């Protein structure tokens, strides 16, 4: 990761989002500092993915504010946060050219793109797939490519939205290994999941989201050993919560 001015902390200040007369995100206050991973944990429909999209700037809040330490989360004219989606979007191009396109769109100079793409493919075990059509890869391979593509952009902050939700155990392990590598590099990770076992394996901090609100925010070991709310205790016990 390049040494540049930090875009952190990220502050979500009284964030609200409404659609079709429903308040889907309700007065969320959250600060993300360097480190993590921060795991947004909660049942399906809790608002985890929407919070990530709001933080990444893909969706504008109805009210409240998303603030980076540097306006827009950019340094040197380039956005310093990236996002990996639950279902990766692959262009009708080769694996290598998917990386090149992303690097060009992010503003990397032409002389850096090929080297950066080759480095990403080698680092995440995709070099042998470089010339294959990205859309013909397996689901696990596509998600590995999505993470490699995000890494190639050299983000300081990486948002991951249920990145293993549709993967088999082997592919899930591969993605979790990539996440561990990214964390070891010093990147700040914010990940949404409803998978308790995965949260236990990866989280340094748990933000428990329910009904569009942050119900608990605690270090992972505190959350799992001694949750503060009845809703969190019910979720950890496998009970249905709304």
Residue-wise pLDDT for 138-192, tens only, equals 999 999 999 999 999 999 999 999 999 989 999 999 999 999 999 999 999 999 9
Catalogue the E-assigned strands of 33-98: 38-41, 63-67, 74-75, 78-79, 81-84
DSSP H helices, 28-138, are: 48-56, 95-105, 110-123
Q: Is the pLDDT of residue 239 over 90?
A: no
d(CA 138, CA 87): 12
Q: Is the pLDDT of residue 2 over 70?
A: no
Is 1 a residue whose pLDDT tops 80? no
In a domain, 182, yes or no: yes
**Domain holding 204: CATH number?**
3.40.50.300
Q: With 70 as the cut, is the pLDDT of residue 3 above it? A: no
Residue 107 lies in a domain: no
What pLDDT score was predicted for residue 46?
A: 95
Residue 130, domain member (yes or no)? no
Domain assignment present for 16: yes
Structure tokens at 73: 């989360």
Structural domains in the chain (count): 1
The rounded percent of the chain whose pLDDT value lies above 90 is 90
Q: How confident is the model at residue 77 (pLDDT cuts 50, 70, 90)?
A: confident
Model pLDDT for residues 181-221, shown as the tens digit of each residue: 999 999 999 999 999 999 999 999 999 999 999 999 999 99
In-domain check, residue 133:
no
| Residue at 96 is within a domain | no
User: According to the model, what pLDDT value does residue 97 have?
Assistant: 97
229 pLDDT exceeds 80? yes
In a domain, 40, yes or no: yes
Q: Report pLDDT for 111.
A: 86
The strand pair at 22-32 and 10-19 is best described as antiparallel
In a domain, 36, yes or no: yes
Phi, psi of 60 (to 5 degrees): -90, 135
| Domain span holding position 72 | 10-91+140-147+155-236
Residue 160, judged by CB atoms within 10 A of its CB (0-12, 13-18, 19+), counts as buried
Q: What is the mean pLDDT of residues 114-133?
A: 96
């Amino acid at each position: 990761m390049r040494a540049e001015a930090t875009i952190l902390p990220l502050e979500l200040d009284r964030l609200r989002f409404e659609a079709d007369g429903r308040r889907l995100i309700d007065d969320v206050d959250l600060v993300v500092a360097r480190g993590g991973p921060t795991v947004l944990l909660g049942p399906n429909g809790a608002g985890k993915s929407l919070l990530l999209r709001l933080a990444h700037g893909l969706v504008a809040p109805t009210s409240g504010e998303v603030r980076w330490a540097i306006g827009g989360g950019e340094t040197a004219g380039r956005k310093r946060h990236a996002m990996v989606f639950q279902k990766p979007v692959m262009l009708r191009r080769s694996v290598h050219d998917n990386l090149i396109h992303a690097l060009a769109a992010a503003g990397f100079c032409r002389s850096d793109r090929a080297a950066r793409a080759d480095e990403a493919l080698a680092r995440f075990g995709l070099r042998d797939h470089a010339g294959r059509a990205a859309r013909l890869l397996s689901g696990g391979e596509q998600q590995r490519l999505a993470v490699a593509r995000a890494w190639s952009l050299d983000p300081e902050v990486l948002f991951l939205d249920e990145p293993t939700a549709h993967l088999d155990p082997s592919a899930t392990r591969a993605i979790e290994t990539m996440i561990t590598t990214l964390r070891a590099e010093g990147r700040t990770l914010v990940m949404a999941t409803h998978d308790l076992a995965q949260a236990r394996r990866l989280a340094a901090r748990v933000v428990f989201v329910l009904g569009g609100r942050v119900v608990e925010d605690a270090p992972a070991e505190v959350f799992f050993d001694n949750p503060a709310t009845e809703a969190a205790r019910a979720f950890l016990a496998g009970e249905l919560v709304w």
